[in-house]
Amino acid sequence: MSEASASKTVTLTIDGRRVSVPEGTTIWEAARGLGIDIPVLCHSTRMRPVGVCRMCVVDVGARTLPASCVRPCENDMEVDTRSAEVQRHRRVLTQLLLADQPEESAREASTGDDELMALARQFDIADIPYPDGARQRPRGADASSPVIAVDHQACILCDRCIRACDELQHNDVITRTGKGYDTRIAFDLDAPMGESTCVSCGECMAVCPTGALTNKAVAGLKIEPAA
C-alpha cells in the first residue's frame, strides 16, 4: 500500500462483498484482506507490483481485464475475481507458460514450491495445446555461479529476481536482455552469473517462483522438499 493515504477510503464490491479500503489500495490487496486469494506469479507482497504475468486479472466490467496487483480500487467498482471467463484466461496463461517449461522443475525437486506447477495442479492441466518450446532447451542454462543454478528455460520473466536484486537488495545486477519471445534475464552486460558482480546473496533465488533460479547442492548435501 505504498501509495495509500490513510485520510481517504474507497468502497467497492469484490465477489459480492462490500469493502472499504484506503485510497491507493490495489484490488489484489483488498481481496486478500477479505480472504480472497487471487493467483499471481509475478507479484510478491515484498515488492512493487508490475502486473506482467497477468494471472491475477479480474473482471471490473471494462473492455479488458486489468491485473489486480496493479489496479487501484475505485469507488463503486464491482469486481469479479473468479468468473468463468477469468478462470479460462488464467488457465490459458498457465498452459502458455507450461509449454516452454522443462519436463522437471528444479524447484519442485528441491524445495518443492514451484508456483507455476502449483497453478498447473490447481487448474488440473493435463494437456498443453501449444507447440513444445522446451525440447532441447533452446534458452540454455548458466552453471557458472558456485551457489545459484540458472535455468533460462524455466524462467517465466516474472521480474521478481530483477526487483529483488535491484530494489530489495540494491545489488544492481539483474536485467532483462533482448526483446519479445527471445527476452531472458541477464547479469550486468550479459555476463555469466559467476563472472558478474553478483554477490550471491540468494535473494533472486528465494523469490523465484519456478526452477529458473535454484540453490545448487553444495558440500554434497541434497536439498529436498520438506516432508
Question: Can you give the binding site for other proteins, defined by CB under 8 A?
Answer: 50-55, 57, 64-67, 70-72, 85, 88-89, 92-93, 96-97, 99-100, 129-131, 133, 156-157, 166, 172-183, 186-190, 197
104, burial (CB in 10 Å: exposed 0-12, middle 13-18, buried 19+): exposed
Distance CA 227, CA 219 (A): 22
- Phi and psi at residue 108, in whole multiples of 5°? -60, -35
| Distance of closest approach, residue 68 Cβ to other proteins, in angstroms | 11
What DSSP letter does each residue of 27-56 carry, written as one string? HHHHHHHTT-----SS--TTS-----S-TT
54 or 107: CB nearest other proteins:
54
Nearer to other proteins, 10 or 110 (CB): 10
Task: Compute the least distance from the CB of residue 86 to other proteins, in Å.
Answer: 9
Q: How far is the CB of 158 from other proteins (least distance, A)?
A: 9
At its nearest, how many Å lie between other proteins and the CB of residue 36?
A: 19
Look-up of cell digits 558482480: 197
Output 35 or 180, the one with its CB closest to other proteins: 180
- Strand-pairing partners, residue 114, are none
